[in-house]
C-alpha cells in the first residue's frame, strides 16, 4: 500500500500508475471524476480494463465566494484552482463533465454515470437546510477517517452497479480523491446500494492500494458546495 504525505491532486499520476500495475487482474476500474479529466487520464493510460466514469448529479456546483475555508484553502493545488476561478470572476462553477472531456470519453468507450450520490443526496439537504444529522452522515464521516476518497470510492461503485454498468459481487478497482484529482485507490467487492449491508452479497472493502497518510475532513456544512 502506498501512503502519500498529504491529500490532494498532487498524487494523481502516482495513483494512476499504482492502479495500472494491477489493472490486468480486474475487469472494471471505476473513476470518480467531476470534470471528466481524471477519467480521461486513466482511460488513456490503461487500455486492458473497462473504465467507468462516475460524476456528480445535475445541479451541483462550487460556490467560489464561500471557499474561504476547507480543502480549497488548505490544499495548495486546490487553492490555486480557487484563485484562478476568482481571477476569472467566477462566482459559481458547475460540477459537471466538460463537453471536451465528454467527447474524449465517448471516443475512449468510457460510460459516464450521473445519479444520486448514496451518502450525499437527501441527507445533505437535511443536514444543510433542516440542521438534522442522519445515520448516513455518520457512516460517511466514518469512512472519511480513512480518506475522503475512501467514501467516494464506495459511492462510485454503488452508483455504477445501480446504473447497470457493472455487476454485483465483482472485484472492482475504484479510484477517487479529495475534491479534485486522485489520491485513493481500493479494490471493492461491488454491490447495489440497496444491498450494501447484505450478509452475503453486500459491499466489501477488499484491499487498500493507496491513500493519504492523514485524511482531510471536510466540515459537515460544506459551505463551498451547493
Predicted confidence pLDDT, tens digits, the chain (226 residues): 999 999 999 999 999 999 999 999 999 999 999 999 999 999 999 998 999 999 999 888 999 998 888 899 999 999 999 999 999 999 999 999 999 999 999 999 999 999 989 988 777 778 777 888 888 888 999 999 999 999 999 999 999 999 999 999 999 999 999 999 999 999 999 999 999 999 999 999 999 999 999 888 877 666 555 5
- pLDDT score for 125: 78
- pLDDT score for 224: 59
- pLDDT score for 119: 86
95 closest CA partner among 118, 64, 124: 64
pTM: 0.93
- pLDDT score for 59: 86
- pLDDT score for 221: 62
Amino acid at each position: 500500500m502506498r501512503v502519500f504525505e498529504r491529500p490532494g491532486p498532487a498524487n494523481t499520476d502516482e495513483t494512476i500508475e499504482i492502479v495500472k500495475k494491477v489493472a490486468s487482474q480486474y475487469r472494471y476500474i471505476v473513476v470518480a471524476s467531476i470534470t471528466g479529466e481524471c477519467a480521461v487520464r486513466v482511460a488513456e493510460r490503461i487500455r486492458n480494463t473497462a473504465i467507468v466514469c462516475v460524476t456528480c448529479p445535475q445541479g451541483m456546483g462550487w460556490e467560489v465566494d464561500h471557499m474561504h475555508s476547507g480543502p480549497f484553502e488548505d490544499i495548495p493545488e486546490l487553492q490555486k484552482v480557487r484563485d484562478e476561478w476568482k481571477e476569472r470572476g467566477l462566482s459559481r462553477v458547475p460540477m459537471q463533465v466538460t463537453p471536451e472531456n465528454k467527447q474524449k470519453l465517448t471516443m475512449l468507450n468510457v460510460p459516464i454515470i450521473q445519479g444520486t450520490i448514496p451518502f450525499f443526496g437527501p441527507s445533505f439537504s437535511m443536514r444543510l437546510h433542516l440542521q438534522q444529522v442522519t445515520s448516513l452522515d455518520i457512516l460517511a464521516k466514518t469512512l472519511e477517517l480513512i480518506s475522503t476518497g475512501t467514501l467516494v470510492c464506495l459511492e462510485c461503485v454503488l452508483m455504477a452497479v445501480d446504473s447497470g454498468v457493472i455487476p454485483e459481487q465483482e472485484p472492482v478497482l475504484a479510484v477517487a480523491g479529495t475534491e479534485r484529482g486522485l489520491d485513493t485507490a481500493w479494490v471493492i467487492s461491488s454491490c447495489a446500494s440497496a444491498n450494501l449491508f447484505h450478509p452475503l452479497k453486500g459491499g466489501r472493502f477488499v484491499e487498500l492500494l493507496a491513500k493519504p497518510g492523514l485524511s482531510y475532513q471536510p466540515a459537515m456544512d460544506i459551505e463551498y458546495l451547493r
